[in-house]
Structure formats: structure tokens, C-alpha cells
């Protein structure tokens, strides 16, 4: 392909889109040096032409028609940063069907329709890049596709949502309540007015589905991810975790062995010596276990206009380079492995339980009977006085057991006359893999 310049059509011009346009304009010399041709913005789709955006990208570059941009023969590459699912999916399908490479930052879309969109890209000999869909400015997608392509990835553990990490940091360091920390996160723009997607783990689940699909070369669907939110976490939980040598983190897991894969998002008691335990505020970090490389961690800003734009522009460069070389769409996205998702009986972890029990003879015997009945051995048992007479607090940390047996234990504890309340329960991650 012989061209003096490559032209970008942008679908959307919000926080990320304006960052992308700014980077392309301000770094024109660097981009030209890397590609040998000039990269420029051709047209930008917006919803309201009259809106004051505080930029100089107004005028004849703006339009309201997605089809006008995609069907423009002068547009070489499409960048989708409009958000949403159905409208974005239709636009990307239209662009790929027209043989134009697409870059997207849309994690919701890729988690739900990524597999079919990647197949469509391959069928039309064009590229679909989505680095910015996970962990903002951290190049984790490219790391899995290229940097660690020669290794066999056995596990991923990560903080992939900055909102929840900010909330937990402030609860721990400032002794704020969950509500106070969430309110501050919203005031700073780290959390939406409706924070459900973040605090209930849905945002992180989408990202873990994307990472697991790549890492394990398997079509992992969003419904394969077990999700548990963080709204029940209290400052007392964080203080108690610290006493036991743990930090509470909202973590995503993707693990593989010969029996299949296990993907989850949940609050975790993470040993304080683990590198992820020191990740503060709105930052993200992804910890990868490779059979050959061992353990590696990737750390950086997980959101924001310019960090996310950095990933988008990197994808633009990759797509443009492939166009110039005539190798667009030649990357294989076919899943090498059949879907093999573990059931609860095959998923194993350690657990922390904090119980309020009757302070009576025979209670400990009943508790140990419940745990042993479901094949759970206990690594630690501590009893503390309750706040009221006749009550005691019991803290137990199990050895590894299946999630199915763990749920059976919780059910039996809830129906036990000796247990007044299950105050809290957490997965425990020691950071050491067998």
C-alpha cells in the first residue's frame, strides 16, 4: 500500500476520543517517524454538533452520521470510542464488513461480542484491536498477544478496576466508611453516579473475561465469570485483615490447570507481602503466572483520558503499519482450546470466616463437625469475646477447599442454632501457587 498519509475516522468524541485526537495532533512528528507517513484525523462522529467541547476540532471535521464516516473512501481506519453496546457493535460490524480496520476501547462490547467481531475481522482480512478495553494505559492485551506469546499462561490475578481500589485504599488508610469513600470517588470522577457496575464487580468481570480468552486461547464468556461485589466490606474487616497480615483487595482471577479454567471477581484477603497489596488508589495492576517466565506484574493508570488514549493510539499505529505492509487481518484469533469451564466442585480456594456464636459448651464441637463434614480442614481458629454476654466471636481460616463445599458450609452455618451471624467471609490468597 503506497500512501503519503493515513486518515482516521472517529466514532465518538468524549473523554477518551478527545484524548486520542489531541495525541494524534500533538505527536504528529513522532507518529510520522514511526510509520513513514502522516496520520491525521479525517472525520469525527458526535451526537450534538452545537456542543461546546472546548477544543479546536470543531467545524468541517464533525458530523453526526456513522455511515458517512465508515463509507468515506478517504477514511482508512475507524476508531470506536462512543461507548454503549448495540450501536457500537453495528458500527464496528459495518466497518469490518467494509474491510476497514477498527480500534475500540469498548470493554462491554468486547466481553459480550468480542469473539464474533474478531471472526468477522478475520473473514474480511482486516484488524480489530482493543488494547484500551482493559486496564487503560497498561499494555496488557499486547503483552498477552505478543510479549508472552511463547509462554503458557497458567494464571492471572489483578486489580482491574480503579474505583474499587480507590475506595478500599481510603477505607484502609483514612478509616473512611464505604459510603464516605464512594462519595469521594464520585466527586473526583473515579466513580459514576450509579456505581453498580464497579462496586458489584461487573466492570472487572468483563475485563477478566477478555483477559482469560486471550491468555488461555479459549472462548470465555461473561457468564463464565463468578462475581461477588464489595458493598458489604467494612472498615472493621480491613483492620482485622491487617491484624492477620492481609490487605483486602477487589481482585479478578483467571486460573487454568488440566481440569479447565476458573474465572472470578471478588473481595479477597491478600497477604500483605504480595506486590498487588501495595497498589493504591485508582491504579491498576495485573499479575501474570507463566510456566516459563514465572511471575510478572504490570502496573499503571487503569483509566483516564490520556492513559486510555495512549493505548488507543498504539493500536492505531499497529493497524496503520499492517495496512502499509499489506498484512491486515492476518493475525489468527481462533481459539486453540475448547471451552472447559470448571464447576464449583472443581474450583478451589482458601476462605476466611468470621462468626458470631453462642458462648456455650459444645459450640466448637458443632463447628468443627460442620467443616469436617464438608471436607474442610482448618488452618487457624481464634476465639474472641463478643460484645454481649453469652456471645463469642470465632475466626476461622480454612485450607484449600472446593467452592461447592464452601457453599455447603455456609448453608450449614446459617441453619445452625449455635451460630448467630456470619459476620463476614472472604477468599484468602496467600500469593503462593502450588
Residue 115 pLDDT class (50, 70, 90 cuts): very high
CB neighbour burial string for 183-207, b if at least 16 within 10 angstroms, e if fewer = ebbeeeebbeeebebbbbbbbbbbb
What distance in Å separates the CA atoms of residue 65 and residue 56, rounded to the nearest whole number?
20
Residue 433 pLDDT class (50, 70, 90 cuts): very low
pLDDT, average across residues 195-214? 98
Beta bridge partners of 396: 353, 381
Mean pLDDT of the chain, nearest integer: 94
What distance in Å separates the CA atoms of residue 213 and residue 343, rounded to the nearest whole number?
17
Grid cell locating 50: 452545537
| pLDDT of amino acid 1 | 56
Q: What is the pLDDT of residues 244-275, one digit of tens each?
A: 999 999 999 999 999 999 999 999 999 999 99
DSSP annotation of 341 reads B
What distance in Å separates the CA atoms of residue 231 and residue 178, rounded to the nearest whole number?
7
What distance in Å separates the CA atoms of residue 7 and residue 290, rounded to the nearest whole number?
39
| pLDDT of amino acid 37 | 95
Could you write out the DSSP letters of every residue in 148-212?
Answer: TTTS-EEEEEEE--HHHHHHHHHHHHS---HHHHHHHHHHTTSS-SS-HHHHTTHHHHHHHHHHH
Give the residue carrying C-alpha cell 483492620: 239
pLDDT, average across residues 76-92? 97
pLDDT, average across residues 388-414? 96
Query: Can you give the pTM of this predicted structure?
Result: 0.95
What distance in Å separates the CA atoms of residue 110 and residue 206, rounded to the nearest whole number?
8
Grid cell locating 46: 458526535
Is residue 432's pLDDT more than 50? no
Looking from the CA of 283 toward its CB, the CA atoms found within 13 Å total 14
Residue 357 pLDDT class (50, 70, 90 cuts): very high
pLDDT, average across residues 360-369? 95
Q: Residue 270: helix, strand or coil by DSSP? A: strand
Domains in the chain with CATH codes = 5-136+305-325 (3.40.50.720), 140-301 (3.30.360.10), 348-429 (3.30.70.260)
Is residue 431's pLDDT more than 50? no
| Percent of the chain scoring above 90 in pLDDT | 90
Beta bridge partners of 284: 300
Grid cell locating 308: 486510555
Grid cell locating 406: 464452601
Q: What is the pLDDT of residues 302-338, one digit of tens each?
A: 888 899 999 999 999 999 999 999 999 988 888 999 9
| pLDDT of amino acid 324 | 94
pLDDT, average across residues 53-63? 76
Residues 6+ apart with CB under 8 A from 180: 170
Backbone φ and ψ of 407, nearest 5°: -65, -35
The residue among 325, 296, 300, 215 whose CA lies nearest residue 263 is 215
Is residue 51's pLDDT more than 90? no
Q: Known catalytic residue: 107?
A: no
What distance in Å separates the CA atoms of residue 135 and residue 154, rounded to the nearest whole number?
20
Q: What is the pLDDT of residues 15-43, one digit of tens each?
A: 899 999 999 999 999 999 999 999 999 99
| pLDDT of amino acid 53 | 72
DSSP annotation of 304 reads S
| Residue of 43, 107, 172, 207 marked active site | 207
CB distance 28 to 38 below 8 Å: yes
Amino acid at each position: 500500500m503506497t500512501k503519503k498519509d493515513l486518515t482516521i475516522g472517529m466514532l465518538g468524541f468524549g473523554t477518551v476520543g478527545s484524548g486520542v485526537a489531541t495525541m494524534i495532533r500533538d505527536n504528529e512528528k513522532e507518529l510520522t517517524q514511526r510509520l513513514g507517513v502522516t496520520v491525521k484525523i479525517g472525520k469525527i462522529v458526535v451526537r450534538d454538533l452545537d456542543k461546546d467541547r472546548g477544543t479546536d476540532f470543531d467545524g468541517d471535521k464533525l458530523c453526526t452520521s456513522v455511515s458517512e464516516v465508515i463509507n468515506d473512501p478517504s477514511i482508512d481506519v475507524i476508531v470506536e470510542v462512543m461507548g454503549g453496546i448495540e450501536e457500537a457493535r453495528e458500527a464496528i460490524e459495518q466497518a469490518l464488513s467494509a474491510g476497514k480496520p477498527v480500534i475500540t476501547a469498548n470493554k462491554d462490547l468486547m466481553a459480550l461480542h468480542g469473539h464474533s467481531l474478531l471472526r468477522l475481522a478475520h473473514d474480511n482480512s482486516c484488524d480489530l484491536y482493543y488494547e484500551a478495553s482493559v486496564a487503560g494505559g497498561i499494555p496488557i492485551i499486547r503483552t498477552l498477544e505478543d510479549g508472552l506469546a511463547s509462554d503458557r499462561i497458567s494464571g492471572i490475578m489483578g486489580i482491574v478496576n480503579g474505583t474499587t481500589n480507590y475506595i478500599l485504599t481510603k477505607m484502609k488508610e483514612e478509616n473512611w466508611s464505604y459510603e464516605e469513600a464512594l462519595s469521594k470517588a464520585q466527586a473526583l470522577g473515579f466513580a459514576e453516579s450509579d456505581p453498580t457496575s464497579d462496586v458489584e464487580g461487573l466492570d472487572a468481570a468483563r475485563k477478566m473475561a477478555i483477559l482469560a480468552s486471550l491468555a488461555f486461547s479459549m472462548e470465555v464468556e461473561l457468564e463464565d465469570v463468578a462475581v461477588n461485589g464489595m458493598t458489604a466490606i467494612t472498615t472493621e474487616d480491613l483492620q482485622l485483615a491487617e491484624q492477620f497480615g492481609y490487605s483486602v483487595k477487589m481482585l479478578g482471577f483467571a486460573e487454568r490447570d488440566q481440569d479447565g479454567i476458573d474465572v472470578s471477581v471478588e473481595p479477597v484477603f491478600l497477604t500483605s507481602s504480595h506486590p498487588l497489596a501495595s497498589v493504591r488508589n485508582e491504579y491498576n495492576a495485573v499479575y501474570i503466572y507463566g510456566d516459563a517466565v514465572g511471575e510478572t506484574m504490570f502496573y499503571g493508570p487503569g483509566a483516564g483520558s490520556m492513559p486510555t488514549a495512549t493505548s488507543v493510539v498504539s493500536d492505531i499505529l499497529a493497524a496503520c503499519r499492517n495496512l502499509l505492509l499489506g498484512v491486515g487481518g492476518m493475525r489468527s484469533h481462533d481459539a486453540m482450546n475448547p471451552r472447559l469451564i470448571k464447576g464449583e466442585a472443581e474450583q478451589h480456594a482458601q476462605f476466611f470466616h468470621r462468626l458470631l456464636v453462642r458462648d456455650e459448651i459444645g459450640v466448637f464441637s458443632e463447628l468443627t463437625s460442620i467443616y469436617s463434614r464438608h471436607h474442610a480442614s482448618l488452618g487457624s481458629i481464634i476465639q474472641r469475646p463478643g460484645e454481649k454476654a453469652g456471645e463469642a466471636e470465632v475466626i476461622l481460616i480454612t485450607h484449600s477447599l472446593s467452592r461447592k463445599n464452601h457453599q455447603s458450609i455456609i448453608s450449614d452455618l446459617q441453619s445452625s442454632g449455635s451460630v448467630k451471624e456470619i459476620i463476614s467471609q472472604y477468599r484468602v490468597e496467600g500469593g503462593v501457587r502450588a
